[in-house]
Structure 1
């Protein structure tokens, strides 16, 4: 029922409270009406007072009203009705249900193609078991829930298609695993692997199919390795050790930027290489090209590194000296305005962009720059403290003025009989209280800044 149909709600002293409620995207409404004073005359209803007032309590969402609690005035019998089985706890139950639906929406969004049909069906039943309060937020969540399920179904259908493709790849792998044409079959497995990676997720069958494919490939590789293992075990061992040396050089170049330390290591690896001997005619040239190529690359990079580093140090130092001069010019103006403040901040950003200036100069030049900056920021700090003191004094005067105005309005309201004028004065009191609260927050913030 609509609270506006209540007999007596529109009386002069009815108290109507409307509060927005974000959880279900609607409003909570409370109407206190029908209060009588000790002489049996209508009076302003006050919550908690024994003035015989009635109370209508409910919600509005999507233009629809729902009564939750309705206690009639004592003059009308004082009977109480409940709009739901949850009685006084209806709003709490509504909030819980709406949040539950939101959680289910998020859960469904996280579902993937491999999510089981049982889990999907369970979440649908969980949704259906939640009471529908017919609020705007529930309508929104229902659309979200349905859309997520539709997208999930599309992904599951695609997963079925992918599973068919991967089943065919597994079948081909099974056919290839016993082949003894090693080179061609190895290439064929590489192609199957590429096709597998290009194919999307296969849903619930993904792991099972992958294990079958991997097992077939593993069996082929095992047989291939066993075949070649006995051809030339000694040369194979030399080849492995030389490959390890190549890997050591390559990894060291990737991880170690200390060219001085790495130079002595290069000499050590070269001696190890000579001591190993031959890995066989088919591998020797290829292995040497890889090893020596990595060494020559290192020597070239080392030369270029030190040349470039020294140039960067010089460039960085020159840029930092220029920034210090700019900072000194700003400080010399004595101007602490927004423009100069922004310039000082930008100098810090520019300083970071100049990079490292070398062990000899980096710390020294930074201390010089920092000393100039501190002159500006200390002056800025002192100026801000003075400004905060002035603003604080103004805010405290404003707060005192608002308190007096509120007290006066609260006294005046009891002298007024006109209903509309009473409500207007109450609105003024509310506005000024809001202003006072914000002013108190501002005062506290200013005090924190001053401390």
Structure 2
């Protein structure tokens, strides 16, 4: 018979280990000497020591999950409880007990961390919702629209909350965006209606201007043309496809009348020559507005120049086209800038793009929720399948968002 402080081998070859609860049978050894039997089972004990040491290091220095750590502890505890090793098994159990406490502490720490992150995400989303609801009341269509799109990007970067809270906040956020889009659409629909009304008024003005173009009642007719011009300006702009044609007819009718009057009042040529000089100065002032960098400022400046232009009076007929052409170039540049702004904020196209984006975003959010649920239930196969579907939907969403950004200008 052979023995050491932690085990012994009896005369039948049975190996025992000493524990606090008494001796436990380790196994039977018939292949060699008792010393070899003890050495074999002591090596098994050393193997357990090494495994426990490695697990302790992983728990202390890596991001090993509490679930995986506990599974490893249970596996080692089963090996120790099987008593297939010779050594201080009670000490190993004590180390495992201590390790369990450390794992539980780590679990609580991570639970608290997740709670903090969730609270931070909740506060961030509530802040986004509050700002979106404020922007929903704004009349700064472009600036507010761009800011709302930025808020969507920020929202997507935040962690999800519990489904109920997340859905409630998203509903408010989405409702604010929809309310803004609805108000913006109504605003531009009103602009369209105003432009249609302007077209009707200007068509009436053109008809009267053309009817007066053959008049020789110089004073009253010229006065009436000035009134018609004032009415023209007060009417506002018609749609782009009508404005130029109406203006050309209106201006053409005036040209016919004033050309006839000019031939009668040739003595006013000197005055018209001075008018030409003044208008050339105004044309030069207007040309300095190009290129258009600040539409609002350029529009106001050109309006001031145009008012002074109209106050000056007529210029020699042979110079009128040239000097007015210079002003028209500036006017067209401003009109094109206005049309560009209109295209960037086209409510119907944006509404369709935002509708598609909203549907895709909802589908992506739903899939993410299903994936989280499948993972939580341990259904890895279903989760992996949903992940592939999510990749496709996310690609469509990214493409839709990219298209939507084109309306921002």
TM-score, structure 2 as length reference: 0.31
Higher RCO by CA contacts (8 Å cutoff, separation 6 or greater): 2
TM-score, structure 1 as length reference: 0.28
Larger radius of gyration: 2
Identify the structure with the greater helix proportion.
2
